Structure 1
Amino acid sequence: MSDDTTPTPVPHSPDEYTADSPFTLPGFFAALADGDLLAAVCGDCGVHLIPPRPACYACGGRNLRAEPQPRTGDVVTYTEVRTPPPALADRAPYTIAVVELDTGARLTGRLTVPYADATIDMRVRLTTRPPADDELAMARQHERDWPIHEFEPA
């Protein structure tokens, strides 16, 4: 995990964006692979956006900075996937949830518990792991190094 807790300001021109910018999906997942869960925090309205993006979807502002986020939160909603993409057919059924992190940011991911054991307001913690072979089969070339994020009961 990174020791640097200095917020990263949003780039304001295309020339300022790099592949490792946390305001791009590759940069977000690279940070996650390093142990850092980042959100863009809007300096105008305070909304937390995961993954970070260069403009706030709540107020349209561009006064954003990338900041580390907690890995804990509560399940807001969940569903069971019974008909997955073909590469994940052997994993069905599995549970997907929207989790509100302790800062208010929301992130969608798999729950490590069966659907019958999931509940609204269930306390969970984000974990990451390398993708399995079946998940790699579904990934585009640039996504092959991206970690899989899952929520387990806290």
Structure 2
Amino acid sequence: MQLKIAMLSVHSCPLGKLGGENTGGMSVYIRELCRELGRQGHLVDIYTRAHEPIHDQIVELGKNARLIHLRAGQEEEIEKLAIYPHLAEFACEVENFRKHNGLHYDLIHSHYWLSGWIGKRMQRWWDIPHITMLHTLGAVKNA
């Protein structure tokens, strides 16, 4: 069975330079998970916030896997907590992109709590399952 999956990574672009404040293991995990799911025949779109004007809006990551940059706030690298006021805007941008391109998904998979907030909203709109993966907990990470 082929699944159409919307992945959300609002604060961390899977193509970002590794070792930055918002790019590391989670970015690699998301990128490689999407590539593998695509190789297995699933269709995967990763939605992330546009953070650099040098990236195309849509970047092919491999068979059946692509990365989609959408505006939410200023189009530059910002502190991840500064994205919070733009989460509703980002959710609307995802919905507009989905409608404009005639897309329908079977599953939402969000990464980190910021994306989980968006995914929960989209789950209500689309009436499909939503999985959130936190990747890290601040209390453990900062201990």
TM bucket, shorter chain: under 0.3
Which protein is bigger by CA-based radius of gyration? Answer: 1
More strand by share: 1
TM-score (structure 2 length as normaliser): 0.26
More helix by share: 2
